[in-house]
Structure 1
Amino acid sequence: MSVIVDRFLAAADKASRDARVSDPLRAISHRDLLRLANVMRRQVLRQTDNPHVGLCMPSCVAFAGTFYGILWAGRTVVPLNFLLGPTELAAVVADSGLDTIFSIRHFAEQLAPLPVKKIFIEDLPLKREMIFERLRIKPSPPRVRPDDTAILLYTSGTSGVPKGVCQTHANLVHNVESSVAKARLEAGHRFLGVLPLFHSFGITAMMLVPTWIGADVHYLPRFTPAGLFDAIRERRSSVTMLIASMYGAMLKSKRGKAEDLASVTYAISGGEALPPQVHAEFLQRFKVDVLQGYGMTEASPVVSLNVPWDHRTGTVGQAIPGLDVRAVDDKNTALPAGRDGELWVRGPSVMKGYYKKPDETAAAITPDGWYKTGDMGNLDPDGFITITGRKKEMIIVGGENVYPREIENALEQHAAVAESAVIGRQDASRGEVVVAFVTLREGASATETELREHCRERLAGYKVPRQVIIAPDLPRGPTGKILKRKLKETLTA
């Protein structure tokens, strides 16, 4: 039996009729979402025998219905990131072996070059099928093993070619149940889904969680600060999850007021570091304490969470139940509390591996099950985790270890700085030196000299950027993360 589908079916039967799954174009009950999933289950069985089925849609009701329909058909879902370039998207389709993609006509031109069958939701007789669905007997969930892959999710490729992460049924069940328990989420919560559902956090936090607990969830296919303010105010949303740059964009908007966010009890930031300045300004202006969480696709994805009743600013919270986290040194020895090292994660949420990449899987997961995150950080005596940077991004200046995040935090304390990104540049005398890229707030001004002096007052001399480049914008990946490899390319161009 597929526990994922089984939980979905059970929750749909119990959900309140007032709890809706909605987007700007439609709103349906959880029971109607179940019916839509069964309609799409039959479409999957009719259209392809392939064990992998592609799904390319924005965050919407149809995505959720098709997602569950694919799983109900006993197949693996391959969510496609429609923000990828044509070469990257073609590589994902080829690597996953897709022959069929369910999508919407908005993406018809983008998908046209791909050598697969495209099924557009607008071309299906959904209204008629939904009526007939009320007369049909509900089929049982398919028989799957806990270790079978439920989702083949390709990483965004911020460091190179996307890799397929095999998230199993057991991975997802554990992550959802532990996240719900940790955050004490209940059916009475009202979710607002803004993160794209091709993103692991979007799938788990804004689709699996609300549909398993029978909560109301509304999807915004496109993020704009104005649209977010309006949706939260009108729908009285209580739970949302954004990346840090989205909270920053909300602060830049002149439209939003504290009353717009009065219903929010749980605002989560994940996917990238939340600058202390953004956290402080958001709390002051909107009276909402943004709480950081931590995770990655390879952990399905939630690793740790701050919660409203137990949180520490500057940390990403404590591990969810069932996961172990530790910091290790270069000899893979576990470090005591407060000591920086690479963070390793072990537990039922850790992926089965990278699809068709046994060598990369073996390099990422130890024989005893520890996943090497590549993130640097430490745990305090109570288990609260602080992220200090990426292992691969660490800069060695004259033999001293420098973590970009510390410098970025210092730069973003300057009143004129909106965002920053710090990288290392090869140097003949010191090995590497620090280079910072910054964008300025609207209407603000600052010089390189001013910003270097600002850092000098807050950091050790070897951590002060040798160069500060003031840029109009910073390059970003499909999910909004800053692409530091692109910045490195500008230095070597």
Structure 2
Amino acid sequence: MPYDADSTLDLHQYTSIVDLIEKACDKFADNTAYACLGKDTTFKEIERDSRHFAAYLQHCTHLQPGDRVAVQLPNITQFVIAAYGIIRAGMVLVNTNPMYTERELTHQYNDSGAKALVVLSDLLPTLTNVVNNTTVDLVIATHAMDLIQPQPQADTPFSKITFLDVLAQGAKFQYQAVKPTHADLIALQYTGGTTGLSKGAMLNHGNLLANSAQVKSRVASTMTEGHDVFVAPLPIYHIYAFMVNLVLYFESGSCSVLIPNPRDINGLINTMKAYPFTGFAGLNTLFVGLCHQPEFKALDFSRMTITISGGTALTSAAANLWQQTTGCMISEGYGLSETSPVVSLNAPGYQRLGSIGKPVLGTEVRVLDMDDNEVPVGQAGELAVRGPQVMQGYWNKPGETANVMTKDGFFKTGDIGVASEDGYHTIVDRKKDMIIVSGFNVYPNEIEDVLSTHELVLECAVVGVEDEHSGEAVKAVIVLKQPSTDIDETRQIIKDYCRSQLTAYKVPRIIEFTEQLPKSTVGKILRRELRKLA
């Protein structure tokens, strides 16, 4: 079997994401497109509501095509309607983390120049000081349950309109169809800001269409058009889940089961019980957390054909545990906000454990040294990517854009990787997370992978801390499966295990235990927070 279902990449099937949305809604009109909080919504209903939303923006506001509109919602159906409505009105979507603080929101809205905001009503108090200090002058608020039973909205010191009123007013006007091209901007996808203030990656219609086709080619053998049911626990404001659920599986007529709060493990499992799911997207911490729940182990996995992992490194322990529990092999991939997001992905059933797979169709990946020269196969260097999914640059930051692009158009990812002779790539670590011990490069991912295989360890993170003798020392922070009765003995057991698996300078000099590790809303373990504590 070939690694990809097709040998060529068709970039002309759709003229834009608007074209993709409208054709999918027409083709699968009566199918369930999204399921959330017990309510199923058909493709026909998504088309109608997103059209009304777009018509409201066109006729009842001052907004024009190209204006930025922010969406600050969890995984609820209103997110989909708003996002598609914004896109169908020819405007630019600014995906926004619902957990952001006033400072983060103020930066993102001012940086993007967002003029309007669609927000969860629970978050309105956070906006009290934000709205007056940003370019936002239209606030559309919705309660999570509004599409099931309209809910009262909180009073605010700024004017707002409810989501349901937007749909009702939009229904009175004729939607004016827009016809964007591949080159037109569709979204500003803000990076995590791990190296400073977050930057808006400029993605156009062509970027998202290309990446959808690239991923579909890789996973096509697991898909059944019009019949798949894909569970979506990861936030769809993140480009990973946005691509999977709002583009790829929507285009194929699938049902996406939206999970508003994946931290509620019992709620997630109960939702999965109600649907004959065929696919699941997650990351390391979520896989491990679910597999330790008896109720999850009792689910029916007989229809499951694909599990995709991305967003952070997949440990071998998590991969093996998931496969033992569900019978489904995880396909680990790799991507970034700047690449729409998928760069590479293991073909379902062909996972090379520890690898991010081969680049998707039409994508070139090079491994570069500090001077942007390609290193020999098998040597570590910075991964650089060129392909139709690579962003147009950072919004209003030509200097930052120039810093990450090579002269011949490759995007430098900031990730350290290694290429194999047969075209697979392995991520060694983030460039900024690398630890230098007495001149030796130490990559936290490698040590975390070893630690996670120990029977006592539930989760772990490794960071570098200052050391007067070696420059930096390796520190491991561990969550145990069971509380220890003798911490010193447990620490020694784990150190001895590391010594049996790792060369001496990689063995953690410091081992600390904690009840929980700091994580982002996506579930990534935040090493930077541990470094601050150190």
TM value normalised by structure 2:
0.86
What does residue 63 of structure 2 align with?
49
Q: Which of residues 272, 278, 289 in structure 2 aligns to 1:232?
A: 272
Q: Which of residues 461, 466, 469 in structure 1 aligns to 2:512?
A: 469
Local SS of the residue matching 2:344: strand
CA distance in 2, matches of 1:143, 1:32: 21
Local SS of the residue matching 2:53: helix
Letter in 2 for 1:333: N
Q: Which of residues 361, 364, 369 in structure 1 aligns to 2:401?
A: 361
Asked if 1:431 corresponds to 2:444, the answer is no
CA shift digits 1:423-452 (9 cap, x unpaired): 112222222221111111134565322222
CA shift digits 1:150-176 (9 cap, x unpaired): 111112223332211111111111011
Deviation at 1:129, TM superposition (A): 4.0
Local SS of the residue matching 1:21: strand
CA distance in 1, matches of 2:461, 2:164: 49
Gaps in structure 1 of 5+ consecutive residues? none
Deviation at 1:212, TM superposition (A): 1.6
Letter in 1 for 2:510: Q
What does residue 529 of structure 2 align with?
486
2:55–2:174 Cα contact (<8 Å) kept: no
CA shift digits 1:53-112 (9 cap, x unpaired): 111111122111111110111110011111112211121111111221122322222233
Local SS of the residue matching 2:295: coil
Deviation at 1:255, TM superposition (A): 2.1
Q: Which of residues 356, 374, 378 in structure 1 aligns to 2:414?
A: 374
CA distance in 1, matches of 2:530, 2:139: 36
Deviation larger for 315-324 or 445-454? 445-454
Local SS of the residue matching 1:235: coil
Gaps in structure 2 of 5+ consecutive residues? 1-13, 147-161
Moved over 6 A (4+): none
Q: Which of residues 296, 301, 307 in structure 1 aligns to 2:347?
A: 307
What does residue 303 of structure 2 align with?
263
Letter in 1 for 2:26: D
CA distance in 1, matches of 2:98, 2:126: 8
Letter in 2 for 1:177: A
CA distance in 1, matches of 2:166, 2:402: 48
Deviation at 1:254, TM superposition (A): 3.0
Asked if 1:149 corresponds to 2:162, the answer is no
CA shift digits 1:137-158 (9 cap, x unpaired): 7643x23342322111112223
CA distance in 1, matches of 2:529, 2:521: 13
Q: Which of residues 56, 61, 64 in structure 1 aligns to 2:80?
A: 64
CA distance in 2, matches of 1:11, 1:272: 31
Local SS of the residue matching 1:261: coil
What does residue 33 of structure 1 align with?
46
Deviation at 1:416, TM superposition (A): 0.9
Q: How does 1:22-421 map to 2 (within 5 A)?
A: 22-45=35-58, 46-49=60-63, 51-115=67-131, 116=136, 117-121=138-142, 123-125=162-164, 129=168, 139-140=176-177, 142-184=178-220, 185=223, 186-223=225-262, 224-421=264-461
Specify whether residues 118 and 442 from structure 1 end up closer, same or farther in structure 2 by C-alpha distance, changes over 3 A only: farther
Specify whether residues 132 and 90 from structure 1 end up closer, same or farther in structure 2 by C-alpha distance, changes over 3 A only: closer
CA distance in 1, matches of 2:271, 2:302: 12
Specify whether residues 178 and 246 from structure 1 end up closer, same or farther in structure 2 by C-alpha distance, changes over 3 A only: same
Letter in 1 for 2:218: K
Deviation at 1:412, TM superposition (A): 1.3
Deviation at 1:261, TM superposition (A): 2.8
CA distance in 2, matches of 1:374, 1:461: 27
Deviation larger for 222-231 or 81-90? 222-231
Q: Which of residues 21, 24, 31 in structure 2 aligns to 1:11?
A: 24
1:230–1:260 Cα contact (<8 Å) kept: no
Deviation at 1:474, TM superposition (A): 1.5
Deviation at 1:403, TM superposition (A): 1.0
1:237–1:263 Cα contact (<8 Å) kept: yes
CA distance in 2, matches of 1:143, 1:127: 23
Specify whether residues 128 and 285 from structure 1 end up closer, same or farther in structure 2 by C-alpha distance, changes over 3 A only: closer
What does residue 11 of structure 2 align with?
none
Deviation at 1:127, TM superposition (A): 10
Deviation at 1:339, TM superposition (A): 2.3
CA distance in 2, matches of 1:444, 1:202: 37
Q: C-alpha root-mean-square deviation of aligned residues, in Å?
A: 2.2
Taking every aligned residue pair, what percent have the same amino acid on both sides? 31
Specify whether residues 241 and 130 from structure 1 end up closer, same or farther in structure 2 by C-alpha distance, changes over 3 A only: farther
CA distance in 1, matches of 2:230, 2:515: 34
CA distance in 2, matches of 1:429, 1:104: 51
CA distance in 2, matches of 1:288, 1:393: 31
Local SS of the residue matching 2:356: coil
CA distance in 1, matches of 2:419, 2:412: 16
1:232–1:261 Cα contact (<8 Å) kept: no
CA distance in 2, matches of 1:216, 1:308: 20
What is the count of residue pairs matched by the alignment? 488
Deviation at 1:216, TM superposition (A): 1.6
CA distance in 2, matches of 1:175, 1:118: 31
Letter in 2 for 1:35: R
CA distance in 1, matches of 2:193, 2:167: 40
Local SS of the residue matching 2:472: strand
Q: Which of residues 442, 457, 464 in structure 1 aligns to 2:482?
A: 442
1:26–1:61 Cα contact (<8 Å) kept: no
1:416–1:444 Cα contact (<8 Å) kept: no
Letter in 2 for 1:42: A
Local SS of the residue matching 2:522: coil
